Amino acid sequence: MPSPSRSRTWLTALLGGALVLVTSACGGGPDGAGGSPAAGNSKSAIPDNAALITAVRADPQLTAALPPAVAQAKTLHLASNIQSAPNNFYSGDGKTPIGYEVDLAKAVGAKLGVTVAYQDMAFGSLITSLQSGRVDLTMAAMNDTKERQQQIDFVDYFSSGITIMVAKGNPDGITGPDTLCGKNVAVVQGTSHQKFAAAQSAKCTQAGKPAITVTATDSDTQNQNQLRTRRVAAILNDLPSAVYISRTAGEGKFFEVVPGQPIEGGPYGIGFTKANTKLRDAVKQALQSLIADGTYGKILQSWGVEQGAVKEAAVNGGS
């Protein structure tokens, strides 16, 4: 997947050093595929969870369970794709990552007693960067699937599914996947949305209906522009991103979500290499602790995505 020609590197500390963010070579989009809300961002939709996260105390037993290299460095290198509101995206200053995933990462890091260093990269590079040892874990609205489980392990932290987003007023009368036949539909390259669109297009032609014209781009921001200019009739996106964008872009005047249950629902997972079971299990226990004490639920609720909460931080729970 191509990345933008422009790259940037910066380093900042949040919450007194609880989270360090290192960013370079931005590009791509996650399975959540929700772009930066540049088209119209509502400040009221962005919560401040600083006090909630500051209240998280490190668990010495979990810190002791970390791999020696991580425990010694007191740093976890986390790869993400920071353009996926409300999962993870940049604030109005264009450089500070925010989102419910970012808040969860801060809280997990605090529970483990380590710093979390972010690297922003193309979604298609996340697994290879993990396997090469460039990073320790990934967290980027990546669907935990059996196919991906052949490459890496996951700790599940959220449940979502594919949602159809259309222009305000739904001018093309799209009511579900079957009404996409013959329409132009935008997806982000390399996501499960692209795979679903191709499969749905095949169903259309098998039923004697026109195929779906699939437009694959590098980011959902591009897809939003395609939809606003009516080059496409719909965008395939994940539930939290679609809901957030429809509520905030153009102060809620640009887009809407087609009602109905999410398509092919399943969990998002934090990714780890198969060999790094100690880190996987430590993060799992930290997340489960945050679920149990209510911190996890409060973070999701503050972002309006509590419908995606999981009761258990399962390992490889996707299908």
Q: What is the pLDDT of residues 208-243, one digit of tens each?
A: 999 999 999 998 889 999 999 999 999 999 888 888
Q: Write the pLDDT tens digit of every residue in 186-214.
A: 999 988 899 999 999 999 999 999 999 99
Task: Summarize the confidence of residues 296-304 as an average pLDDT.
Answer: 92
Say whether pLDDT at 8 is over 80. no
Question: 162-263 belongs to which homologous superfamily?
Answer: Periplasmic binding protein-like II (3.40.190.10)
pLDDT for 149 equals 97
The pTM of the full predicted model, rounded to 2 decimals, is 0.71
Number of H helices and number of E strands within the chain? 11, 13
Q: Write the pLDDT tens digit of every residue in 80-106.
A: 999 888 999 988 898 888 999 999 999
Burial group, residue 206, by CB count within 10 angstroms (0-12, 13-18, 19+): exposed
Q: Write the pLDDT tens digit of every residue in 132-146.
A: 999 999 999 998 999
Say whether pLDDT at 290 is over 50. yes
Tell whether domain 10-160+265-308 is in CATH 3.40.190.10: yes
Say whether pLDDT at 184 is over 50. yes
Q: Which residue has the higher pLDDT, 35 or 95?
A: 95
Q: How confident is the model at residue 44 (pLDDT cuts 50, 70, 90)?
A: low
5 Cβ partners below 8 Å, 6+ apart? none
Say whether pLDDT at 50 is over 90. yes
Q: How confident is the model at residue 43 (pLDDT cuts 50, 70, 90)?
A: low
Q: Which residue has the higher pLDDT, 58 or 37?
A: 58
The most confident of 39-53, 156-170, 243-257, by mean pLDDT: 156-170
The residues spanned by each domain of the chain are 10-160+265-308, 162-263
Q: Which residue has the higher pLDDT, 218 or 9?
A: 218
> How many CB atoms are located within 10 Å of the residue 162 CB?
25
Q: Dihedrals φ, ψ of 73, to 5°?
A: -80, -20
pLDDT for 83 equals 84
Task: Summarize the confidence of residues 49-61 as an average pLDDT.
Answer: 96
pLDDT for 11 equals 29
Task: Give CA separation, 182 vs 164, 226, 232, 237, in Å.
Answer: 15, 17, 11, 19
Say whether pLDDT at 74 is over 60. yes
Say whether pLDDT at 174 is over 80. yes
Task: Summarize the confidence of residues 157-181 as an average pLDDT.
Answer: 95
69 Cβ partners below 8 Å, 6+ apart? none
pLDDT for 42 equals 54
pLDDT for 202 equals 98
d(CA 197, CA 192): 9
Q: What percent of the chain has pLDDT over 70?
A: 86
